[in-house]
Amino acid sequence: MPASALFSATIERLINQMLSMDPDSAARLKPLAGSRFVIFVTPLPFGIELHFSDRVDVLTTQQPRDALIASLTAADCCIQTSLDTLPTLKDTSQLTRLIQEKKLNLDGELRIAQQVSALFQQLDIDWEEHLAEHTNDVLAHEVFSAGKRMHNTLLTFTRKLSRTVGNAVVEEKQLAAHRLAVMHFNDEVSELRDDVARAEVRLQKLEEQANKN
């Protein structure tokens, strides 16, 4: 079985499913119609082509990158990057920095890369509504509230953590943390642990409730 075809079929289904859940995505797709966005991600052995129309068709290409670049038209853009840089591409303002740092090679139309990035970055999906279609409204609401609380807790934690680390770097503090700071950090970790434990119990209850339904 051609594995690359299975790969592209899965990605294509996922992308179009997500786009169909966001009613505004059609407007962002429109300016991309007729364009092609090709991604070479090391270590994948093939390139991935996104072709835009009123939906996204995903193809894989065995063509070497050089040959593909030679075939680019004014409606094409080709990037090469690595798996760990990929998530950074969500933020269009990072593109220039990544190119300068040689973490991203871009050939063809930069505008297309920006539009593709916007297409996915601005995805606004009402997951709760879509889950409710398959379960019931109350359950969907509960699951999402619990999920959001957990997400917020984690967000607060990572923010605090990065502030602490950031301060340490910027202010060139001593590497050995102050005793008080360590105590404070420990308190925060315990607080987080309690939050997570509470969320876990809540989820467990919801799961039981869902099983009963």
Partner 1 sequence: MSDNPNTPSTSENQNTAVTTDFGYKQVDKSQKASMVANVFDSVAAKYDVMNDLMSLGIHRLWKRYTIDCSGARAGHKILDIAGGTGDLTAKFSRLVGPTGNVTLADINLSMLTVGRDKLRDRGLISNIDYVQADAEALPFPDNSFDIVTMAFGLRNVTEKQNALNSIYRVLKPGGRLLVLEFSKPTTEQLSKLYDMYSFHVLPKMGQLVANDGESYQYLAESIRMHPDQETLKGMFEKAGFEQCDYKNLTGGIVALHRGYKF
Q: Is 42 in the site for partner 1 (CB under 8 A)?
A: no
Only one residue has tokens 């009402």, namely 126
Based on CB atoms, which residue is closest to partner 1, 36 or 104? 36
Encoded amino acid at 150, one letter = M
Query: Using CA atoms, how far apart are residues 33 and 212, in angstroms rounded to an integer?
Result: 47
Q: In the bound complex, what is the minimum distance in angstroms from residue 199's beta carbon to partner 1?
A: 40
Q: In the bound complex, what is the minimum distance in angstroms from residue 66's beta carbon to partner 1?
A: 16
Query: Using CA atoms, how far apart are residues 141 and 68, in angstroms rounded to an integer?
Result: 47
Give the tokens for residue 75.
């409606």
Give the tokens for residue 59.
């193809």
Closest C-alpha among 109, 96, 123 to residue 17 = 123
> By CB under 8 A, what part of segment 75-94 binds partner 1?
75
Based on CB atoms, which residue is closest to partner 1, 76 or 142? 76
Closest C-alpha among 75, 61, 57 to residue 12 = 57
Based on CB atoms, which residue is closest to partner 1, 1 or 180? 1
Q: In the bound complex, what is the minimum distance in angstroms from residue 34's beta carbon to partner 1?
A: 5
Q: Is 1 in the site for partner 1 (CB under 8 A)?
A: yes
Q: Is 55 in the site for partner 1 (CB under 8 A)?
A: yes
Of 17-25, 51-59, 128-136, 168-176, the window that binds partner 1 (rule: CB under 8 A) is 51-59
Only one residue has tokens 């997400």, namely 151
Query: Using CA atoms, how far apart are residues 72 and 52, in angstroms rounded to an integer?
Result: 15
Q: Is 183 in the site for partner 1 (CB under 8 A)?
A: no
Q: Is 9 in the site for partner 1 (CB under 8 A)?
A: yes
Based on CB atoms, which residue is closest to partner 1, 66 or 124? 66
Strands (E), the chain: 36-42, 47-52, 56-61, 76-82, 104-108
Tell me which residues touch partner 1 (CB under 8 A).
1-2, 4-6, 8-9, 33-34, 36, 51, 53-55, 57, 59-63, 73, 75
